[in-house]
Structure 1
Amino acid sequence: MAASSRRCYCSVPGCSTSKQRQPYLSFQKDEHLRKAWVRLIRRDEGPLFHISRGSTFVCSLHFDEESIYVSKSGRRRLKSGTTPSRFSWNSWGETRVLRQSVFDRVNARFEVTLVEESQNSDSAIENADEQPTVAEDQQPAAASDHNYSRDSAGGLDADAAAETIRQLEAKVRSLERQLSDLSCTLNINRYCATDEEFRFYTRFQSEKVFWSFWESVAPSASRLIYWSRAQRASDVMALEKPSPNRRLALMDELFLYCCRVAVGMKEKVIADIFGISLTTVSRIIITWANYLFIVLGSVPIWMSREQVQATMPPKFTQYCPNVRVILDCTEIRCEAPSSLTLQSETFSSYKNTNTFKGLIGIAPCGVITFISKLFTGSISVREITRQSGILSLFEPGDACMADKGFVIDQMLSDVGATLIIPPFKRGTRFSKEDTEKTQNIARLRILVERAIRRVKEYHIWDTTIPLTLSGSVNQLWATCCLMSNYQGPLDVKGDVPV
């Protein structure tokens, strides 16, 4: 510390000392101590304050006398490692006396009151022996204050009340732990609270439908095995026990799968939201795709003729009462393979891009009753109908409704079924009967388009499917089709569940 020869001021907020009033100014040169000084004087370096050598100082008023010594040359200097400690906000270094809390002050007054009452009662007893007895009718009418420190005559025992309080506190802690487990460990409770949020994140119609779906798959999901472990297992007996050390609860794993399939979130985003690695996200998605494909696929969805007739809307009964299924093909874009042969196989002339093509069939009530596996985009309608296996499901007398592109009448006639398609134009224009038939078929066949739209509203199909998912794309497609049935059948007049 030395006297400043420049016209400088102290850097401590609220201190206006200059070299004329307090000539001894200083600032620490050591980097670590300098940071401590900046913190103690409550100043942060920035646009309004910058430490410059020779112009930034702290005056000697902010140091204790023990921190300053006089050198042999007669100059006042700071001891090594000294920090400023005297400021206006700490009363210039004076030790602050902490005020007692309200609880301590009340207890102190309560103890004093008890001592005074005890002394007064003792003196009253002594005086009672000396003073004459006063008659009851001559006693003063003023009533004494109630002593709340003593139990009333009809009150609970103190020990019993304390035990009751301890039991209630233990119950509160138990309920808090249960609430914490439900709200903190399950990510689905953070994002889904209303029916609208459940529809957005899971594509289920309501919260009630989602929990019904979960209750139907939860018993078998408790023994779920990750596909990576199944690949590594050399012995079938090693797969009897479920995979240990799951990072997420089973409910959250299903919710994660819905976020990827229904919302279309990228795997990196899901990994950041759930706090797990990208590899774990990919493993969970593939595992649940295969699991739901097996579980939901084990339930027969092809409706019998009696079931179709019982749920058939009136307009179908009027125009085509024998229809068993409405067929249509749909395509989803996929990444172009590097092989020219695979490119030609997946290229769709209809979409003019590389696609996967699938066949979907619905009952007249709007429920999806048939799902084929995905084929390459170059396959024809006749070939996909033949390879899908739907012909074996028809019975003699059934009718199949489709678009004009389904020239499969010969295939259906071989199994005793008929094909209902719009009539082809013969001549320059349609006849009146053909026009009415075309309108009626189009009005009814639009139902399959709505069902396909529901499936494609699972946003995983919004973008081009990478070839890395080619091993599980069939499972993903089938689960989306099957889970769309939980949204309820479609009405013929509109997209309204019936």
Structure 2
Amino acid sequence: MFLVMASRKFKYQRREDGSRAEHCCVPFCEATIKFNSILSFHNFPLDEETRRKWIHNIGHERFDITSHTRVCSRHFKSDYVIEPSTPNGRCLLRKGAVPTLFQWNQFSGAEPGRSGLWQRRDTHLEHDYCAVPEPAAVDNALDPTEDLHKEVERLMRQVEELSLSQRFSLGRFAASDDDIRFYTRFMTYRHLMTFWKLIEPASHKMIRVTRERETTIWSEAETSAWGQSLQPIDEFFLFMIHLSVGQTQRDLSHRFNIHQSTVSQIITTWANFLYTVLGSVRIWMSEEEVKAHLPNEFQDYPDTQVVIDCMELRCQTPSSLLLQGEVFSNYKSHYTVKGLIGMAPHGAVTFVSSLCAGSASDKQLFKQSGIVSLLKPEMAIMVNKGFLVDDCVPCKVYRPDFLSKREVLTADEVKKTRLRVHVERLVCRVKEHKLFDTVIPVSITGSINQLYTVACLLVNYQNGPLVKD
């Protein structure tokens, strides 16, 4: 029993029987009678030969042995210890029992192979029974170099793990896809890292926004000198939290432990960078590509090239009366900015317009967006009831009919209405970026077009198929 107990860390408990505060005299052993109700403590034997063996094995050859000098049962093999016959009885040692289990031999009972533990020290100190040995002293006494190196490596790993768990960074949430989904809207950590591998090479030559509102091109070697305490991937993570969760710059400043002005620069820099990188990818699909991915639901409308809808984002009331008149939306009864978004029948975003004032009509926005130049006579578009754009396009228009005075819609009209629901779901995916699900502050209106476009384009990378085949 005691051999097993010697190999584990004890939980010392105060005894309530008024025992003297006597200590085990073995070097590096912290056991005391007063604070231990598990171990037994034994006097040195009277037999001179056995006593010499005790002193030699303990390695403490220059100290006075009194009636209160004890050795705890941790240092004896289990077959040397006689268990008490009654609950309150004392453990006894067999005749000739010698302590052999110590910290410096890992409680294995192996011979230490040295003259005396305290003789190896340059300075000879008397044993302080009340002192708790310093960990460094224990390591130095035990060994040597290899054990010290291993201990240093272990402590460095532990510090790194603690630092990672306390620092707000992407690595802290890498093991939780639910957290990744919440903070970035990417389905899984694997999706996020796949997207990062696509944009990471270009990030080394990113054009960063400085405090002086100037732009400077930084090489990979100069990036660390920009004054940032965050790695590029954590800057991207900060930007995604701002976009996806709608956290304020002040909150992000506290979370990432950086200055609020630095947060503002990171957000603006990454908005411009992703706007440029994602905007350089051709998202408009050819007729052949659209038909190759056409879902079964659209088989009755095989020439549908794009499903179109408008999205309005509520914004803070401008101080200028002129601007108030331009951005006020009669449809939303609020001040808004407005954008046009188009998707292929299978759900991929294939067109994103720039934002305009909320007072513009759907038809006006449609004409200004530039999508008309992409349409061909053999194509067809699917729009909402309010999109009266038949005279603006060179192709067919599928539009749900108004109920007018009829009680019910026809089966074909119901189907067109149901198909259009997919683009409403797409708008919902964009608005899962909570920055656009609230009133947009005036302070970010300078980069709102970039933020909106990036949010729309990211939908193609963050989620699975919108319309299942």
Do both proteins adopt the same fold according to a TM-score greater than 0.5, normalized to the shorter chain? yes
Q: Give the corresponding residue for 1:469.
A: 444
Are the counterparts in 1 of residues 208 and 218 from structure 2 also a CA contact under 8 Å? no
Q: Residue 170 of structure 2 contacts residue 234 of structure 2 at CA under 8 Å; is this kept in 1?
A: yes
Deviation at 1:374, TM superposition (A): 0.6
Unaligned runs of 5+ in 2: 1-20, 31-43, 45-51, 62-95, 101-108, 115-142
- Tell me how far apart the structure 2 counterparts of residues 116 and 337 of structure 1 sit (CA, whole Å): 84
C-alpha distance in 1 between matches for 2:229 and 2:283: 34
Whether 1:479 aligns to 2:454 is: yes
Is 1:244 the counterpart of 2:226 in the alignment?
Answer: yes
TM-score by length of 1: 0.64
1:2-17 correspondence runs (5 A): none
- SS of residue matched to 1:410: coil
Give the whole-Å Cα distance in 2 for the aligned partners of 1:116 and 1:357: 85
1:384 maps to 2:380: no
In the other structure, the counterpart of 1:323 is 304
Report the Cα distance in structure 2 between the residues aligned to 1:373 and 1:296, rounded to whole angstroms: 14
- Contact in 1 for aligned 2:204/2:220 (Cα 8 Å): no
Task: Look up the SS of the partner of 2:236 in the other structure.
Answer: helix
Q: Given the alignment, which residue of 103, 111, 115 partners 1:148?
A: 111
Aligned equivalent of 2:248, options 263, 266, 269: 266
CA–CA separation in structure 2 for the residues paired with 1:190 and 1:111: 53
The answer to whether the aligner puts 1:288 opposite 2:308 as a matched pair is no
Aligned to 1:307: 289
For the pair 1:372 / 2:335, whether they are aligned, the reply is: no
Q: For residues 293 and 415 of structure 2, what CA distance do their matches in structure 1 show?
A: 19
Alignment partner of 1:194 is 2:172: no
**Which SS does the other structure have where 1:409 is aligned?**
coil
User: In the alignment, what sits opposite 1:429?
Assistant: 406
Measured against aligned partners, the alpha-carbon deviations of 1:291-320 in whole angstroms (never above 9, x if no partner) come to 111111111111221221111111102x10
Check conservation: 2:430, 2:456, Cα contact below 8 A. Answer: yes
Provide, for residues 458-481 of structure 1, a one-character-per-residue CA deviation record: whole Å limited to 9, x for no partner.
111232112222110001111111
Equivalent pairs counted in the alignment come to 360
Deviation at 1:184, TM superposition (A): 5.0
Residues 326 and 402, structure 1, Cα contact 8 Å, conserved in 2:
yes
| Contact in 1 for aligned 2:207/2:217 (Cα 8 Å) | no
Matched residue type, 1:441: K
Answer yes or no: is the 8 Å Cα contact 1:399–1:419 preserved in 2: yes
- Structure-2 separation of matches of 1:294 and 1:187: 25
Measured against aligned partners, the alpha-carbon deviations of 1:346-390 in whole angstroms (never above 9, x if no partner) come to 111111111101000001111111111110011122221111111
Larger radius of gyration between Structure 1 and Structure 2: 1
CA contact (8 A) 2:426 2:466 kept: no
Instruction: Give distance in 1, aligned partners of 2:228 and 2:398.
Output: 52
SS at match of 1:412: coil
The equivalent position to 2:390 in structure 1, one of 409, 432, 441, is 409
RMSD of Structure 2 on Structure 1 (CA):
3.7
Q: Sequence identity of aligned pairs in percent?
A: 36
* Cα distance in 1 for residues equivalent to 2:428 and 2:190: 23
Distance 1:213 1:102, change over 3 A: farther
Q: Say whether residues 1:207 and 2:182 are aligned partners.
A: no
CA change 1:98–1:202 in 2 (3 A) is farther
Alpha-carbon spacing, 1:412–1:177, altered in 2? closer, same or farther (3 Å): same
Q: 2:206, 2:217 within 8 Å by CA — same for their partners in 1?
A: no
* Residues 105/300 of structure 1: CA separation in 2 closer, same or farther (3 Å cut): closer
CA 1:382–1:115: 2 relative to 1, 3 Å: closer
How far 1:174 moved relative to its partner?
A: 5.3
Residue aligning to 1:112 = 55
Give the Cα–Cα distance (whole angstroms) in 1 for the partners of residues 172 and 448 of structure 2. 29
Which amino acid letter does the alignment assign opposite residue 464 of structure 1? V
Q: 1:281 to 1:102 in 2, by over 3 A?
A: farther
The aligned residue for residue 33 of structure 1 is none
TM-score scaled by length of structure 2: 0.67
* 1:451 maps onto 2:451 in alignment: no
Q: Which amino acid aligns with 1:309?
A: K
Q: Distance in 1 between matches of 2:400 and 2:376?
A: 22
Q: In 2 relative to 1, CA 464–101 (structure 1 residues): closer, same or farther, beyond 3 Å?
A: farther
Q: 1:209 to 1:116 in 2, by over 3 A?
A: closer
Cα distance in structure 2, aligned partners of 1:101 and 1:260: 62
Aligned equivalents of 1:471 and 1:289: distance in 2? 11
The amino acid of 1:112's aligned partner reads I
Q: Give the superposition deviation at 1:446.
A: 0.5
Residues 236 and 459 from structure 1, CA distance in 2 versus in 1: closer, same or farther, beyond 3 angstroms?
closer
Counterpart CA distance in 2 for 1:105 and 1:335 is 69
The unaligned stretches of length 5 or more in structure 1 are 1-96, 119-141, 152-160
1:45-124 matches, cutoff 5 A: 103-104=27-28, 112-113=55-56
Alignment partners' CA distance in 1, 2:403 and 2:389: 18
What is the distance in 1 between the residues matched to 2:304 and 2:359? Answer: 29
